[in-house]
């Protein structure tokens, strides 16, 4: 089929801002978007810069955005994404562009290095392998299937506003070790992951789950790390209080009490932080967005409470 | 990375140079597993014998003994470092069956074993603090007084050339799959290390031995792991017959790869092939449909995905058309069991090296093993070597030479030709004449074409004239390496007038131990045809016998 590729180009030696360039080409029925880009590079413009290698969705080189969505180009068929015969290809987001479709992965790897990305087995070595249940290994494989392509980071809404956030890929990598029954320093890891830039900074927007080409579901792994952190007793944290308050409010009244949530997330005794909320409250008041101090039960709240009780099960 | 780790553990000052980020290296695509005689009733001798027989008796048995004796510990080491191998109900490592093996001894992580091992290696490099130069492309190795002095590399981000002084260099640069079109190999597999070493004075060995994998997809050459057949999948022809019963009545689908690929090609050539989806009957079926869906998804998830993506087939309900495709180089830079080449200070390990443990045909799941065993040995020996010698001066001229070559290439006027065109013709020529079947006439035709492609290469322009991330210039360097590899493959294949392992000559179809139980070793000679020598095959305890599966 005949398609038009709209490719975002940037030659840092000649220009300061990117531009779109159009290429018309013929692609086969099962051709990937990458096949088309290679065709452009080989037949139309040899100066087009992109990374690609294995063509089988395992080396992780070719994450780019196609019609806005971050994907592996080798794993995306042209016919599945073309809109009116047009395919728009851009570099992945949230990372600096070096040239055309090539981004600087430096910040990405920096975050990976920050989560102590290796197994820390117990000091006493076994004679042979460590014994471990296969189910646990299967869980670990779900996380280590990550190919470090950066598609999740491209979509991360927290990274976008705070580039210090460790981000979905590094945190999924962290979960790979915490979930591994052979790892021996989970307490230490979870403590570190609970700090600023870590697991509590995720806003569960689901974009990374949607973007991941290997079904790693990074956000689910961040949530699993939170559960592990709580289980390890790391509960003195705004994130923990936030999620407790959120759940209690919905359980009791059937809806979210936003005012209470803001206060309870900081903790009633945390005066400096509560004072810090004042300007936000005032701005909300001026904009007419201050939640009502009177939070009423919604109709059917009792029903919601019963759902909670059923899910939580009998408390011991 | 295993070599770098070992050298670092032995307190050498180590840097790793790679043209891609280390986790993009092609070991990432190894699917099926890694062999080790860890089972209770298994022995290293059994693994070694299977490897010798698989090699069609061209493998050096001292090297194969080293491989098999150290395999169990190497796999346990990988597990201890974090590789999440699949387990049995007792929590211990559990193997799967694989081709050419007399028992199940292939340890695996689903169908992403290479990925799982490669990422753990990278983790260990970070832990050990090895300096990594990523996206640096090596343009030459430099000797001084016959010793390794260092290398010149181009930093892709800036286009600058840098000299790097080194007492010892270990080449772990993989194979040259892209010399063939199609190939299962990644686009980066361009034989860089083999050409660099060859030009630096280290000979190449067994270059005629090129493995065709029996199960690759016709659309893009992607690999469908041998683990599928190991886990019970069948091969069927257009009549629905499990044709392997004719060719390997005992091992059937799990005969060695050269045997299965030839059997498939016979079925296809005799008109019993199935549709490849591209208008020809150039395939046979890989049939998993009798296996439980859950079992396939758990153990073969990666190829389930690949077949769905690239062949539009759900392997749990439909057979998938596959055909033999170029996959692996048994040949490479001649080394001893410590990875040493002829040049003092220059080492090689993995697919770019030829120890030779694979001889005429590599067994599945022996390649990852080869990388960790001989990577470790090369790392250890190179660290020791570096302790004993002084740095050699690295002349400024070496950098200037690379810069001058780049200038000349960037300055070439358009002439209607391109790197991509030359590369495509190279690949198609090799596949046509130096594939599953070969004969003297065809091989000579191919060689004369390679020489004319070499001439075109000297004039082919690049379009990108810039410095930053000029991949066009990288492809130029790579094509030069590929043409060297192709020449070496063809010269060796023409010379070996018998059939052995993956090298099948229709004009001399028998194995001839009298004349050819020896390695062909090629020396690089500037401006002339390669010099041909021989090396004896080391035989320790397994005398050559007829090979039946």
Topology classification of domain B396-528: Methane Monooxygenase Hydroxylase; Chain G, domain 1 (1.20.58)
Task: Report whether B161 contacts B406 (CB < 8 A).
Answer: yes
User: Across residues B68-86, what is the average pLDDT?
Assistant: 98
Chain B residue at shortest CA distance from A114: B126
If you write DSSP's letter for every residue of B373-431 in order, what string do you get?
Answer: HHHHHHHHHHHHHHHHSPPPP--HHHHHHHHHHHHHHHTPPP-S--HHHHHHHHHHHHH
Distance CA A102, CA A89 (A): 12
* pLDDT tens digit sequence for B116-147: 999 999 999 999 999 999 999 999 999 999 99
CA B436 to chain centre: 16
* pLDDT tens digit sequence for B223-259: 999 999 999 999 999 999 999 999 999 999 999 999 9
What pLDDT does B532 receive? Answer: 98
What pLDDT does A289 receive? Answer: 85
Strands B161-165 and B320-329: unpaired
User: Across residues A78-105, what is the average pLDDT?
Assistant: 97
What pLDDT does A316 receive? Answer: 47
Q: Is the dihedral of CA B209, B210, B211, B212 positive or negative?
A: negative
Residue contacts between A and B (CB atoms, under 8 Å): 165
Q: Percentage of chain B with pLDDT > 70?
A: 100
Question: Which B residues, 402 through 461, put their C-beta within 8 Å of a C-beta on chain A?
Answer: 418-420
Q: In a 3-state reduction of DSSP, which class is residue A231?
A: helix
Task: Report whether A237 contacts A200 (CB < 8 A).
Answer: yes
Q: Is B131 on the interface with A (CB under 8 A)?
A: no
pLDDT at A291 exceeding the cut of 90 = no
Q: Is B306 on the interface with A (CB under 8 A)?
A: yes
From 3.40.1190.20, 2.40.50.140, 3.10.20.30, 3.40.50.1980, which CATH number describes the A2-103 domain?
Answer: 3.10.20.30
What pLDDT does B395 receive? Answer: 86
Would you call A147 and B186 a contact, using CB atoms and an 8 Å cutoff? no
In chain B, domain spans:
2-210+327-388, 214-323, 396-528
Task: Report whether B176 contacts B188 (CB < 8 A).
Answer: no
Long-range contacts of A189-194 (CB under 8 A, 24+ apart): A189/A115, A189/A116, A190/A225, A190/A228, A190/A229, A190/A232, A190/A234, A191/A229, A191/A232, A191/A234, A192/A116, A193/A115, A193/A166, A193/A225, A193/A229, A194/A229, A194/A234, A194/A237, A194/A239
pLDDT at A225 exceeding the cut of 70 = yes
Confidence of residue B177 (pLDDT cuts 50, 70, 90): very high
Task: Report whether B499 contacts B511 (CB < 8 A).
Answer: yes
Q: Which one of B84, B220, B462 has the shortest CB-CB distance to A140?
A: B84
What pLDDT does A171 receive? Answer: 98
Confidence of residue A259 (pLDDT cuts 50, 70, 90): confident
User: Across residues A26-49, what is the average pLDDT?
Assistant: 95
A263: enclosing H helix or E strand? helix A258-266
Residues on chain A touching B126 (C-beta within 8 angstroms): 113, 117-118
Q: Is A115 on the interface with B (CB under 8 A)?
A: no
User: Across residues B500-521, what is the average pLDDT?
Assistant: 98
What pLDDT does A280 receive? Answer: 85
* pLDDT tens digit sequence for B12-67: 999 999 999 999 999 999 999 999 999 999 999 999 999 999 999 999 999 999 99
User: Across residues A75-99, what is the average pLDDT?
Assistant: 96
ipTM summary value? 0.95
Residues on chain B touching A49 (C-beta within 8 angstroms): 464, 469-471
Residues on chain B touching A182 (C-beta within 8 angstroms): 82
Of the spans A251-265, B191-205, B290-304, which averages the highest pLDDT? Answer: B191-205
* pLDDT tens digit sequence for A40-75: 999 999 999 999 999 999 999 999 999 999 999 999
Task: Report whether A21 contacts A9 (CB < 8 A).
Answer: yes
Least confident of A170-174, A194-198, B78-82, B484-488: A194-198
Task: Report whether B255 contacts B266 (CB < 8 A).
Answer: no
CA angle B230, B233, B239 (to 5 degrees): 140
User: Across residues A175-190, what is the average pLDDT?
Assistant: 97
User: Across residues A238-259, what is the average pLDDT?
Assistant: 89
From 1.20.1260.10, 3.90.550.10, 3.40.640.10, 3.50.50.60, which CATH number describes the B2-210+327-388 domain?
Answer: 3.50.50.60
How confident is the prediction for chain A on average, in pLDDT? 94
Which residue do the tokens 């439980």 mark? B292
Domain with CATH 1.10.1060.10 in chain A: 106-231
User: Across residues B458-482, what is the average pLDDT?
Assistant: 97
Would you call A129 and B94 a contact, using CB atoms and an 8 Å cutoff? no
What pLDDT does A285 receive? Answer: 87
Q: Is A114 on the interface with B (CB under 8 A)?
A: no
B456 carries an active-site annotation: no
Which one of B213, B236, B362, B423 is the catalytic residue?
B213
Would you call A56 and B222 a contact, using CB atoms and an 8 Å cutoff? yes
Residues on chain A touching B120 (C-beta within 8 angstroms): 118-119
CA A269 to chain centre: 33
Residues on chain B touching A58 (C-beta within 8 angstroms): 28-29, 112, 115, 302
pLDDT at A282 exceeding the cut of 80 = yes
Interface test with B, best of A58, A104, A169 (most B CBs within 10 A): A58
Q: Is the dihedral of CA B458, B459, B460, B464 positive or negative?
A: positive
Beta-strand ranges (E) seen in B175-331 are: 204-205, 210-216, 234-236, 284-287, 320-329
Question: Which A residues, 221 through 240, put their C-beta within 8 Å of a C-beta on chain B?
Answer: none
What are A250's two structure tokens? 């919905």
Distance CA A248, CA A308 (A): 10
Which one of B96, B229, B362, B377 is the catalytic residue?
B229
What pLDDT does A290 receive? Answer: 83
Interface test with A, best of B32, B39, B128, B220 (most A CBs within 10 A): B220
Chain A residue at shortest CA distance from B471: A49
Task: Report whether B95 contacts A131 (CB < 8 A).
Answer: no
Chain A residue at shortest CA distance from B27: A59
User: Across residues A82-86, what is the average pLDDT?
Assistant: 95
Would you call A144 and B119 a contact, using CB atoms and an 8 Å cutoff? yes
Q: Which one of A58, A118, A129 has the shortest CB-CB distance to B79?
A: A129
Distance CA A188, CA A177 (A): 12
From 3.40.50.720, 3.30.1490.20, 3.40.190.10, 3.90.700.10, which CATH number describes the B214-323 domain?
Answer: 3.90.700.10
pLDDT at B202 exceeding the cut of 90 = yes
How confident is the prediction for chain B on average, in pLDDT? 97
Would you call A137 and B311 a contact, using CB atoms and an 8 Å cutoff? no
Would you call B309 and A180 a contact, using CB atoms and an 8 Å cutoff? no
What pLDDT does B480 receive? Answer: 98
Confidence of residue A177 (pLDDT cuts 50, 70, 90): very high
Distance CA A199, CA A221 (A): 9
What are B78's two structure tokens? 């990988």
pLDDT at B206 exceeding the cut of 70 = yes
Distance CA B344, CA B43 (A): 35
Residues on chain A touching B84 (C-beta within 8 angstroms): 137, 140-141, 144, 180
Residues on chain A touching B220 (C-beta within 8 angstroms): 32, 35, 55-56
Q: In a 3-state reduction of DSSP, which class is residue A99?
A: strand
* pLDDT tens digit sequence for B341-377: 999 999 999 999 999 999 999 999 999 999 999 999 9
Residue A93 neighbours by CB distance under 10 Å: 18
Least confident of A183-192, A289-298, B73-82, B234-243: A289-298
Question: Which B residues, 490 through 529, put their C-beta within 8 Å of a C-beta on chain A?
Answer: none
pLDDT at A210 exceeding the cut of 60 = yes
Question: Which A residues, 52 through 71, put their C-beta within 8 Å of a C-beta on chain B?
Answer: 52-61
Distance CA B436, CA B325 (A): 9
Domain with CATH 3.10.20.30 in chain A: 2-103
Chain A residue at shortest CA distance from B422: A42
Q: How close does chain B come to A54, measured CA to CA in Å?
A: 4
Q: Is A294 on the interface with B (CB under 8 A)?
A: no
Q: How close does chain A come to B24, measured CA to CA in Å?
A: 5
Q: How close does chain B come to A147, measured CA to CA in Å?
A: 8
Confidence of residue B327 (pLDDT cuts 50, 70, 90): very high
B21 carries an active-site annotation: no
What are B363's two structure tokens? 């067994």
Of the CA atoms within 13 Å of residue B283, those in its CB half-sphere come to 21
Q: Is B86 on the interface with A (CB under 8 A)?
A: yes
Q: Is A15 on the interface with B (CB under 8 A)?
A: no
Question: Does residue B339 come out as left (phi exceeding 0), alpha (psi in the -120 to 50 range) or beta?
Answer: left
Cβ neighbors of A301 (< 8 A, separation 6 or more) are A252, A253, A254, A255
User: Helices marked H in B207-324 — which ranges?
Assistant: 227-230, 244-247, 257-267, 293-299, 301-311
User: Across residues A138-164, what is the average pLDDT?
Assistant: 96
Q: How close does chain A come to B170, measured CA to CA in Å?
A: 23
What pLDDT does A315 receive? Answer: 60
Query: Cβ-count burial of B87 within 10 angstroms (0-12 exposed, 13-18 middle, 19+ buried)?
Result: buried
Q: In a 3-state reduction of DSSP, which class is residue B49?
A: helix
What are B379's two structure tokens? 């790392």
The neighbouring-strand residues paired with A26 are A2
Q: How close does chain A come to B451, measured CA to CA in Å?
A: 22
Chain B residue at shortest CA distance from A57: B306
Chain B residue at shortest CA distance from A10: B468
- List the CATH code of the domain at A106-231: 1.10.1060.10
Q: Is the dihedral of CA A95, A96, A98, A104 positive or negative?
A: negative
What pLDDT does B525 receive? Answer: 96
């Amino acid at each position: 089929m005949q398609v038009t590729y709209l490719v975002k180009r940037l030659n840092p030696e000649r220009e300061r801002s990117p531009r779109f360039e159009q290429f018309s080409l013929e692609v086969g029925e099962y051709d990937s978007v990458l096949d088309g880009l290679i065709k452009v590079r080989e037949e139309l413009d040899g100066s087009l810069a992109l990374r690609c290698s294995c063509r089988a969705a395992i080396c992780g080189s070719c994450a780019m955005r196609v019609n806005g969505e971050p994907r592996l180009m080798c794993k995306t068929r042209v016919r599945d994404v073309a809109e009116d015969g047009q395919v728009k290809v851009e570099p992945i987001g949230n990372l600096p562009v070096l040239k055309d479709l090539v981004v600087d992965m430096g910040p990405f790897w920096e975050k990976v290095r920050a989560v102590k990305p290796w197994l820390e087995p117990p000091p006493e070595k076994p004679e042979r392998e460590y014994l471990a249940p296969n189910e646990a290994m299967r869980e670990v494989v779900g996380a280590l299937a990550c190919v470090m392509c950066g598609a999740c980071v491209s979509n991360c809404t927290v990274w976008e506003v705070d580039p210090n956030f460790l981000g979905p890929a590094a945190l999924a990598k962290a979960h790979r070790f915490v979930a591994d029954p052979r790892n021996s320093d989970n307490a230490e890891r979870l403590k570190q992951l609970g700090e600023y830039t870590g697991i509590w900074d995720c806003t569960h927007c689901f974009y990374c789950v949607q973007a991941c080409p290997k079904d790693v579901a990074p956000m689910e792994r961040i949530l699993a790390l939170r559960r592990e952190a709580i289980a390890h007793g790391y509960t003195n944290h705004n994130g923990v209080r936030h999620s407790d308050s959120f759940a209690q409010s919905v359980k009791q009244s059937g809806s979210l009490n936003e005012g209470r949530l803001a206060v309870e997330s900081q903790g009633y005794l945390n005066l400096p932080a509560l004072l810090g909320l004042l300007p936000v409250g005032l701005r909300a008041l001026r904009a007419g967005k201050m939640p009502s101090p009177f939070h009423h039960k919604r109709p059917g709240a009792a029903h919601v409470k019963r759902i909670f009780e059923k899910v939580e099960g009998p408390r011991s | 990375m295993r070599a770098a780790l070992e050298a670092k553990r032995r307190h050498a000052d180590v840097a790793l140079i790679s043209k891609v980020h280390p986790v993009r290296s092609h070991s990432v695509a190894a699917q099926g597993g890694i062999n080790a005689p860890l089972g209770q009733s298994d022995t290293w001798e059994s693994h070694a014998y299977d490897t010798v027989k698989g090699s069609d008796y061209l493998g050096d048995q001292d090297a194969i003994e080293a491989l098999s004796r150290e395999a169990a510990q190497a796999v346990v080491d990988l597990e201890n470092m974090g590789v999440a191998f699949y387990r049995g109900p007792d929590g211990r490592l559990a193997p799967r069956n694989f081709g050419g093996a007399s028992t199940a001894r292939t340890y695996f992580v689903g169908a992403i074993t290479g990925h799982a091992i490669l990422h753990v290696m990278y983790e260990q490099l970070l832990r050990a603090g090895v300096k990594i130069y990523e996206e640096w492309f090596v343009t030459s190795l430099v000797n001084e007084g016959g010793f390794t002095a260092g290398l010149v590399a181009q930093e892709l981000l800036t286009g600058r050339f840098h000299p790097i002084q080194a007492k010892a260099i270990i080449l772990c640069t993989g194979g040259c799959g892209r010399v063939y079109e199609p190939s299962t190999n990644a686009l980066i597999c361009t034989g860089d290390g083999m050409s660099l070493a060859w030009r630096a004075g280290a000979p190449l060995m067994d270059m005629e031995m090129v493995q065709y994998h029996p199960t690759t997809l016709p659309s893009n050459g992607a690999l469908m792991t041998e683990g599928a057949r190991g886990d019970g999948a069948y091969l069927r022809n257009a009549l629905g017959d499990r044709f392997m019963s004719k060719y390997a009545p005992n091992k059937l689908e799990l005969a060695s790869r050269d045997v299965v690929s030839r059997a498939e090609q016979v079925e296809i050539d005799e008109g019993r092939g199935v549709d490849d989806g591209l208008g020809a009957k150039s395939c046979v079926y890989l049939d998993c449909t009798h296996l439980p869906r859950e079992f396939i998804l758990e153990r073969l998830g990666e190829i389930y995905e690949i077949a769905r993506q690239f062949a539009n087939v759900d392997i749990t309900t439909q057979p998938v058309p596959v055909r033999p495709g170029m996959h692996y180089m048994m040949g490479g830079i001649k080394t001893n069991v410590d990875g040493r080449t002829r040049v003092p200070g220059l080492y090689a390990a993995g697919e770019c090296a030829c120890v030779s443990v694979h001889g005429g045909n590599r067994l599945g799941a022996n390649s990852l093993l080869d990388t960790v065993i001989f990577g470790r040995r090369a790392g250890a020996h190179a660290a020791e070597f570096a302790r004993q010698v002084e740095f050699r001066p690295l002349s400024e001229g070496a950098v200037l030479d690379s810069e001058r070559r780049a200038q000349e290439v960037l300055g070439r006027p358009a002439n209607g030709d391109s790197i991509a065109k030359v590369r495509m013709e190279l690949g198609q020529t090799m596949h046509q004449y130096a594939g599953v079947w070969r004969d003297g006439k065809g091989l000579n035709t191919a060689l004369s074409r390679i020489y004319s492609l070499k001439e075109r290469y000297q004039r082919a322009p690049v379009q990108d004239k810039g410095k930053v991330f000029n991949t066009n210039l990288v492809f130029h360097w790579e094509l030069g390496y590929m043409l060297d590899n192709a020449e070496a493959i063809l010269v060796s294949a023409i010379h070996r007038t018998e059939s052995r392992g993956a090298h099948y000559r229709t004009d001399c179809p028998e194995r001839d131990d009298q004349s050819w139980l020896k390695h062909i070793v090629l020396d690089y000679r500037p401006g002339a045809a390669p010099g041909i020598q021989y090396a004896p095959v080391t035989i320790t305890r397994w005398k050559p016998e007829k090979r039946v599966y």
